[in-house]
Every structure is written in C-alpha cells, then in structure tokens.
A and B are shown apart, each in its own frame.
Chain A
Amino acid sequence: DVKVTQSSRYLVKRTGEKVFLECVQDMDHENMFWYRQDPGLGLRLIYFSYDVKMKEKGDIPEGYSVSREKKERFSLILESASTNQTSMYLCASSLSVASSSYEQYFGPGTRLTVT
C-alpha cells in the first residue's frame, strides 16, 4: 500500500515562528502536493512539486514556501507563522497524470494552531 506520512498530527506554534511541516511518501511518486483544508472552503492547493527541486505555486502560496531535496520528501515552510495560517494541512503524492493508475494519495494531516 502507498503510504504518505506527515511528521506531526497536531502542532501549536506562536505568531512569528518559522514552522516546518514534513511529508514523506514511500511509492516513488513524481508528484507531491501541499493542501490547506478549512471548513466551507474544501481543499486548496498551496504548492506542488513534480520533481526533485521543482515546484509550482498553487492557488494560495502567499506566506508559504516549499522544499524538495529528495524525491520522497516534501516540506512546507511557514516563514513567519500568523494566526490566519491556523488550519489543517494535508500532503499528497501521485504518479504523473499520464499514468493509467493516476490518483492522489493523502497523508493523515497536520492540524496547526498558531497563537
């Protein structure tokens, strides 16, 4: 089975702190994604990466950056956390859309609270 793991299930940080969220997948997938989930808004894409050191902005990249130094690991960075970044963060991975077995596999999520 594909496994996507996230470093923390719950995280509490203070305003202004630098925050790292880590995601690891074990299926050699090319693509990795970071989403933010808020009630009534569904999932919104923050960034995605289609290869090592390659990244593309999603719909809401402001206030976030990402790093992908190894194929299996994709990090989301909040440079200076703010209270409006309190949310559930979901990581996902997938093969390329050209694959006949394309689907995105999700991690369990990290609930981040910024106080």
Chain B
Amino acid sequence: AQSVTQPDIHITVSEGASLELRCNYSYGATPYLFWYVQSPGQGLQLLLKYFSGDTLVQGIKGFEAEFKRSQSSFNLRKPSVHWSDAAEYFCAAQTYNTDKLIFGTGTRLQVFP
C-alpha cells in the first residue's frame, strides 16, 4: 500500500542550528511530494513541492528539500532555524492520477533559544 513515513515524532534544536526532517515514501512510481507546516492552532501552509526536474527544491521561509529516488526520501532542511519555525511539519505524497494526498504522521519541531 502507498504510504508516507516520518520517522521522527519530535525534534528539538537550538535557535541558529541546522535542521533536517526526514520523510520516506512507499509508492509504485515516483509520486508528487509536498512539505506542509502547521503553526499552533492554524491550518496547513505549503512550504514546497516536487513534481519533477531538479531534485533540490527551494521553498518559502528559507526551507529546501532534496528528492532522492534511490532512498525514496524527500527530506526537509534549513541551514539556520529561527524560534518562529517551531511548528508541526507534515510530508505528503500523491500520484499523478489522483487528487488525494497521503500524509505522514508529522514531526513536531521545538526550538530552544
């Protein structure tokens, strides 16, 4: 079955440190891939997406993600985390022939000053 896995439930980093959030997918073919962020009490906001082409994708708020076909991964990175990045992050995937997204279970990011 198709699935998206975020192995880290909770990550804590210091402000200014680098960040990598992991995402792995299990699909028959390469899916479209997305990262969303959810601030407390809010809906989800799209950070970036990958459909095809360049495997390094730039997003909003200084985030980037790299698609690695050999590892079935789409990890989210940020070189220097700000306190305002504290939120929950969701990886999601879908195939070209469906409008339905499959979400991972999310990673909660905590940022210490």
Which residues of A line the B interface, CB within 8 A? 4, 31, 33, 40-45, 48, 50, 58, 90, 92, 94, 96-97, 100, 102-109
Q: Are B99 and A31 in contact (CB under 8 A)?
A: yes
Interface majority SS on B: helix, strand, loop or mixed?
Answer: loop
Contacts of B104 in A (CB 8 A): 42
21 contacts between A and B (CB under 8 A): A31-B99, A33-B100, A41-B105, A42-B103, A42-B104, A42-B105, A43-B103, A44-B103, A45-B101, A58-B100, A90-B44, A97-B32, A97-B97, A97-B98, A97-B99, A104-B44, A106-B36, A107-B43, A108-B42, A109-B41, A109-B42
Expressed in whole angstroms, the minimum distance between the Cβ of B91 and any Cβ of chain A is 9
Task: Check if B49 sits within 8 Å of A103, measured CB to CB.
Answer: yes
B74 at the interface (CB under 8 A from A): no
Q: Are A4 and B43 in contact (CB under 8 A)?
A: yes
Number of A-B contacts (CB under 8 A): 54
Residues from chain A with a CB closer than 8 A to the CB of B44 are 43, 90, 92, 104, 106
B45 at the interface (CB under 8 A from A): yes
Residues of B81-112 whose CB lies within 8 A of A? 90, 94, 96-101, 103-106
- Distance in Å: Cβ of A74 to nearest Cβ of chain B: 14
Closest to A108 in B: B43
The residue in chain B whose Cβ has the minimal distance to the Cβ of A103 is B46
A31 proximity list for chain B (CB < 8 A)? 99
Indicate with 1 or 0, residue by residue over B12-45, a CB within 8 angstroms of chain A CB atoms: 0000000000000000000010101000011111
